[in-house]
Amino acid sequence: ETGVTQSPTHLIKTRGQQVTLRCSSQSGHNTVSWYQQALGQGPQFIFQYYREEENGRGNFPPRFSGLQFPNYSSELNVNALELDDSALYLCASSSQGGSYNEQFFGPGTRLTVL
Amino acid sequence: RKEVEQDPGPFNVPEGATVAFNCTYSNSASQSFFWYRQDCRKEPKLLMSVYSSGNEDGRFTAQLNRASQYISLLIRDSKLSDSATYLCVVKLAGNDMRFGAGTRLTVKP
């Protein structure tokens, strides 16, 4: 069984740039959730994708957007980067979109905005 | 007020000690409750779900009090390998998962 993978592992951008982060879900999972984890804080829910549609969203501005592909992999796009966007971005996959099943997290992408 | 609040920690305990973590949540519509564990520079991993009747998994016991909006985690006979940050997690409607800031535990020989 292949676990959740994310790419890249680290990324450095400057303010105003755009970034795309990628996530491959665990084999057999059809739901991907994205989280932002600032240093010393718990993860904050950005949004979830199920069957290629957004299926719930946290309190993040529209410049945070996403996609899910037919193979259930997903992308997180952030436009107009701000310094406060510096964080660890985690994706988590699970097997259903309508109810909670255990979410398996990937190792994360550490984004630094200068 | 944060939606999910945890003991600030850090907790430094000797091997074999019993340690308890508390968590409160503000949204009475919260549906499901969990404890996750996160090792330094690693991703969070589910430790256990928390049920109203209370539940136990080996040395770990979780309790939920919906009336008080309070969740707890008890670890008995602490091991060195229990050193980690413990995250209290609450699921709202619409798949929105709210994490606490975490409580760091260090178990010392």
**Residues in chain B within 8 Å Cβ distance of A57:** 94, 96
Residue A1 has a pLDDT of 52
- For tokens 């000690």, what's the residue? B17
Q: What is the pLDDT of residues A47-90, one digit of tens each?
A: 999 989 998 888 999 999 999 999 999 999 999 999 999 999 99
pLDDT tens digits for chain B (109 residues)?
Answer: 788 999 878 999 999 999 999 999 998 888 899 999 999 989 999 999 998 888 999 999 999 999 999 999 999 999 999 999 999 999 887 677 899 999 999 999 9
> CA-nearest residue of chain B to A90?
B43
CB-based contacts of A77, cutoff 8 Å, min separation 6: A18, A19, A20, A21, A64, A65, A66, A67
**Residues in chain B within 8 Å Cβ distance of A103:** 46, 97
Cβ of A56 under 8 Å from any chain B Cβ? yes
Please determine, for residue A100, whether its predicted confidence score (pLDDT) is greater than 70.
no
